[in-house]
């Protein structure tokens, strides 16, 4: 469960540096597929959301997920938590009148919410950046009520090397594209290195089961299983 953050990588500083160009870089590098991945995850959360659910967006970044949550789940009250204040500042521009989205500069290892505060939780490409993944996931389990749904999008370490994606695109193309869009080469060298150091989808699913989620499923997403949707309740 080691991560680059555990070795002292300045993850917060990195995200704050690229905040103003983060969305543009995501759209270019994923050709917009990241938007479809978020929608798929949030559709699953919406199936059993109930009326006026309280939803946590963990590692909310520039609020793409939070905005989609209130669009897809009428009456949802979203707490968007992220430790990178600049990301949240940029994201607040997306909040429209009538959307209940509260932004909180918060560390996922020590969430400032009571036990069982949320009916559901969503997280996109965040959990790979925790210095202590088991601790952060226990915090997530703590703040989601028993039976509440959790949807996690992430890039996990592949069981087998995918030559084009891992060696060519991730290793060479992505850092250059990220540098061209944001002017920050180091941030986009971090991404492929963080995937290499992270756990596999199976290991992550096992962790969620160990900390108390009763039903856990991991689904590879198109194309080529690059991303994974992990659902739990």
What's 54's domain CATH number?
3.40.50.150
pLDDT at 226: 84
Q: Is there a domain that residue 180 lies in?
A: no
Only one residue has tokens 């909040």, namely 95
Closest CA to 70 of 58, 54, 83: 54
pLDDT at 163: 53
Residue 7 located in a structural domain: no
Query: Is 224 within a domain?
Result: yes
Give domain status of residue 18, yes or no. Answer: no
- pLDDT at site 224: 64
Closest CA to 135 of 106, 110, 105: 110
**Ranges of the chain with pLDDT below 50:** none
pLDDT for 192: 83
The answer as to whether 129 is a domain residue is yes
> Does the residue 164 lie in any domain?
no
Both tokens of residue 32?
């917009």
DSSP 199-212: PPHHHHHHHHHHTT
Q: Of 233, 200, 201, 229, whose CA–CA distance to 216 is shortest? A: 233
Does residue 172 sit within a domain? no
Q: How many domains does the chain have?
A: 1
- CA nearest 54: which of 6, 134, 137, 122? 122
Sign, CA torsion 112/116/117/118: positive
Range of the domain at 47: 30-157+199-232
Query: Which contiguous run of DSSP H or E holds residue 56?
Result: strand 54-58
Residue 190 forms part of a structural domain: no
Question: What does the alpha-carbon distance between residue 130 and residue 139 come to, in Å, rounded to a whole number?
Answer: 12
Show the tokens assigned to 156. 């996990």
């Amino acid at each position: 469960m080691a991560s680059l953050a555990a070795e002292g990588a300045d993850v917060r500083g990195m995200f704050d540096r690229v905040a103003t160009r983060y969305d543009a870089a995501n759209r270019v590098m994923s050709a917009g597929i990241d938007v479809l991945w978020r929608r798929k995850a949030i559709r699953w959360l919406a199936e059993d959301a109930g009326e006026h659910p309280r939803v946590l967006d963990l590692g909310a970044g520039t609020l793409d997920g939070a905005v989609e949550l209130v669009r897809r789940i009428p009456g949802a009250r979203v707490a968007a938590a992220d430790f990178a204040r600049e990301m949240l500042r940029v994201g607040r521009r997306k909040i429209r009148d009538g959307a209940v989205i509260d932004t909180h500069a918060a560390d996922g290892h020590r969430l400032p919410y009571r036990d069982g505060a949320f009916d559901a939780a969503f997280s996109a490409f965040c959990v790979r950046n925790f210095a202590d993944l088991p601790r952060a996931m226990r915090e997530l389990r703590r703040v989601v009520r028993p039976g509440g749904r959790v949807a996690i999008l992430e890039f996990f370490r592949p069981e087998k090397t995918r030559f084009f994606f891992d060696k060519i695109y991730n290793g060479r193309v992505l850092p250059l594209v990220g540098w061209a869009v944001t002017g920050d080469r180091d941030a986009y060298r971090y991404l492929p290195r963080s995937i290499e150091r992270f756990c596999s989808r199976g290991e992550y699913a096992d962790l969620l089961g160990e900390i108390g989620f009763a039903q856990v499923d991991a689904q590879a997403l198109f194309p080529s299983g690059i991303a994974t949707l992990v659902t739990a309740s």
